[in-house]
Chain A
Amino acid sequence: MSWFKRRIQGITTSTREKKEAPDGIWFKCPDCKSAIPMVDLKDNLYVCPKCEFHSRIGSKEYFEIIFDNNEFKELMPEMIAKDFLHFVDLKPYDQRLKDTIKKTKLKDAMRSAHGKVEGFDLVVCCMDFAFIGGSMGSVVGEKISKSIDYCLQHKLPLMIISKSGGARMMESAFSLMQMAKTSAKLTLMTEAGLPYISLCTDPTTGGVTASYAMLGDFNIAEPKAMIGFAGPRVIKETIKKDLPEGFQTSEFLLETGFLDFIVNRKQLKSQLAKLLAMFR
Chain B
Amino acid sequence: MTFLDFEKPIEELYKQIEKTKEIAEKTKVDMSSTVKELEDSILELKKKIYGELTPWQRVQLSRHPERPYTLFYIEQICESFIELHGDRNVKDDKAMVGGIGMIDGQSVVIVGQQKGANTKMRQYRNFGMPNPEGYRKALRLMKMAERFNKPVITFIDTPGAFPGLEAEERGQGEAIARNLFEMAKLKVPIICIIIGEGASGGALGIGIGDKVLMLENTWYSVISPESCSSILWRSWDFKEKAAEQLKLTADDMKSFNLIDGIVKEPLGGAHANPDEMAAIIKKEIKKYLAELMPQSAAERIAKRIKKFDAMGEVNENL
Binding site for B on A (CB under 8 A): 76, 78-82, 84-85, 87-90, 138-139, 141-142, 145, 167-181, 183-188, 191, 206-207, 209-215, 228-231, 234-235, 238-239, 241, 243-244, 247-248, 256-258
Contact = CB atoms under 8 A, between A and B. Distances in A.
A interface secondary structure, majority? helix
Interface in B244-276: 245-248, 252-253, 256, 258
B9 interface: no
Interface residues of B, number: 55
B308 A235 contact: no
11 contacts: A78-B317, A82-B314, A139-B314, A173-B221, A173-B222, A173-B252, A177-B312, A184-B185, A186-B181, A209-B177, A210-B205
Contacts of B234: 90
A145 B309 contact: yes
Contact of B177 (A211, A238, A247): A211
Interface in B266-318: 304-305, 308-309, 311-318
A238 B313 CA distance: 35
Interface string B181-200: 10011000000000000001
A206 B199 CA distance: 13
Given A82-B314, A256-B170, A207 B200 contact: yes
A183 B174 CA distance: 11
Contacts of B168: 228-230, 235, 247-248
Interface in B109-164: 161-164
A175 B222 contact: yes
Contacts of B181: 183-184, 186-187, 215
A60 to B, nearest CB: 21
A238 to B, nearest CB: 5
A258 B308 contact: no
Contacts of B309: 145, 181, 184-185
A9 B201 CA distance: 45
